[in-house]
Amino acid sequence: MRYTYLPSPIGDLLAVRDDEGLTGLYLPSGTSAVSPRPDWTRDDTAFDDVRTQLEEYFAGDRREFDLPLHPTGTPFQQRVWRALCGIPFGETASYSETAIAIGTPTAVRAVGHANGQNPIPIIVPCHRVVGANGSLTGYGGGLDAKRWLLSHEAAHAGLFAT
């Protein structure tokens, strides 16, 4: 595994990849903060694609990512994470709507758990999932980061209107 740190408006992000793609993107705060493992190798040159696309996203010039991803998770988690990528930039969906989208409408809590286990936030936009009443619920990077990401997207969503 190779890793680097990428600067962002919400703090330095720890990016991790293997030979197949990005395996993790960790925010600097909240319950999902991660430090590099001893068997990882720092390689700042192996993340130019990730760096460029994140810079474009944070500048408001990118709304979808086109990166090779290789997250590790159960088949159910993988289904949830794919569904998260279908939530449009600047919009939100509830846990219930996400459960319905993957064909398991009664699995709302399981969807919430899978959402919380997403190892590639921002790129796999788990921050776009909110409570049924629109409230901001937990976020591994902390609610301040979630609030910032949603505000950022709301401010830039209209720039992409056709």
At 78, which helix (H) or strand (E)?
Answer: helix 75-84
Phi, psi of 14 (to 5 degrees): -90, 115
Beta strand 2-6 with 41-42 is: parallel
Half-sphere exposure of 162 (CA within 13 A, CB side): 0
Q: Is residue 76 classed exposed, middle or buried when 0-12, 13-18 and 19+ CB atoms within 10 A define those classes?
A: middle
- The four Cα atoms 91, 95, 100, 105 give a dihedral, to 10 degrees, of -170
- Annotated catalytic residue within 22, 83, 126, 150: 126
Q: Is 126 assigned a catalytic role? A: yes
Residues designated as active site: 126
